[in-house]
Structure 1
Amino acid sequence: MRADPIEPTTSTAATPQAVVRGLWAALAQRDWEAVQPFLDDSCIYLDVPYGPALAARGPADIVKRIKVGFEPLASYTNHDGLLVADGEHVIYEHSERWEWPSGEVAVLPFVTVHTVVDGKVTLWKDYWDSATLVGSAPATWMEELAAADTSWVYDATGVV
């Protein structure tokens, strides 16, 4: 985990690495209003294990999508890791700890790929093992997901 604080920045002069670190600092705080400015209006979020038919597009819908998983949690921790950039492409290896009010805990290794253009994330893809999450979550969690708001769904098939 980083010892130094990460200051959020969405300046077009900010490096792609700084933009991604700022996004994740806001996300780690579950500060939904602070997350949105890092995302381009046309940004696509793809949870790779669930495929492009269940993507989200645009800051408001991406936040709605992420809240589906995060809102029921008693605690969420992002464990910072390796961040590598190649121009506008940023790869971030990290892990997340999800804790539910009922006591279940999941530790999820992630690789997240971002594209950053003019200081905004235009593509965000999360790669992780969904079986780890499903196997650790409360028994009712999948039922709760099935009943969640899906107004955010954007079919990115053929786009990403």
Structure 2
Amino acid sequence: MTDGKPTPAGEAREIVAAFWTALYDRDWARLKTFFTPESIYYDVPTGPGAAARGPEGIEARLKLGLEPLAGYDHGAATVVASDGLVVTEHEEHWRWPTGERVTLPFVSVQHVRDGRITLWRDYWDLGTLMAGAPPNWQDTLASGDLSWIVDVTAEI
């Protein structure tokens, strides 16, 4: 994921901030504009074998888990940016329609090249999420459309 020119730190930081706004607003059309057809997103706990690629794949991946939520908010964040790299330490607050709530600590690492996010990895604890999520949400994940899954193990 090193194709293209690293985006300068200040610009990369602004791009990722705008990305977070689109994600927490669940503005799916805008969210897709931050990625190239070759962009990769995956959750480290589930590994690069369950990654999503490209704007449509990343959107499908995110919608699978987030659309059923009653609420999804971004907590306090610390952001560190260097040319082509933005690291965000933050928390997410997940709320389901059935009343369950989870605060999930995250570290997100995004590589930004030529003004687009080319690689995005999220580091978080799967046990924390699954312990607080309703069982039917977990069933929804397992039975949802998983056509977006791509194994990028050899690429990262």
Alignment TM-score, normalising by the size of structure 1: 0.90
* 3-state SS, counterpart of residue 134 of structure 1: helix
Unaligned 5+ segments in structure 2 are 1-6
2:83 & 2:76 partners in 1: Cα distance?
Answer: 21
Deviates more, 1:90-99 or 1:14-23: 14-23
2:48 & 2:139 partners in 1: Cα distance?
Answer: 21
Which of these residues, 3, 10, 18, is aligned with residue 14 of structure 2? 18
For 1:20-39, list aligned pairs within 5 A.
20-39=16-35
* 3-state SS, counterpart of residue 129 of structure 2: helix
Structure with more of its chain in helix, by fraction: 2
Q: Give the AA of the match of 2:34.
A: F
Name 2:3's counterpart in structure 1.
none
Which of these residues, 113, 117, 120, is aligned with residue 124 of structure 1? 120
**Alpha-carbon deviation of 1:80?**
3.8
1:109 & 1:99 partners in 2: Cα distance?
Answer: 15
1:159 & 1:101 partners in 2: Cα distance?
Answer: 38
Name 1:104's counterpart in structure 2.
100
Deviation beyond 2 Å, 4+ runs, structure 1: none
Name 1:51's counterpart in structure 2.
47
Name the count of aligned residue pairs. Answer: 149
Identity of aligned residues (%): 46
* 3-state SS, counterpart of residue 66 of structure 1: helix
* 3-state SS, counterpart of residue 91 of structure 1: strand
For CA contacts below 8 A with separation 6 or more, give which structure has more relative contact order: 2
For 1:61-76, list aligned pairs within 5 A.
61-76=57-72
Cα RMSD after superposing both structures? 1.3
Alignment TM-score, normalising by the size of structure 2: 0.92
Q: Give the AA of the match of 1:20.
A: V
Deviations 1:114-159 (A, max 9, x none): 0000110000000000100000000222211110100111111111
Name 2:4's counterpart in structure 1.
none
Which of these residues, 134, 150, 155, is aligned with residue 154 of structure 1? 150
* 3-state SS, counterpart of residue 15 of structure 2: helix
Unaligned 5+ segments in structure 1 are 1-11
* 3-state SS, counterpart of residue 102 of structure 1: coil
* 3-state SS, counterpart of residue 50 of structure 1: coil
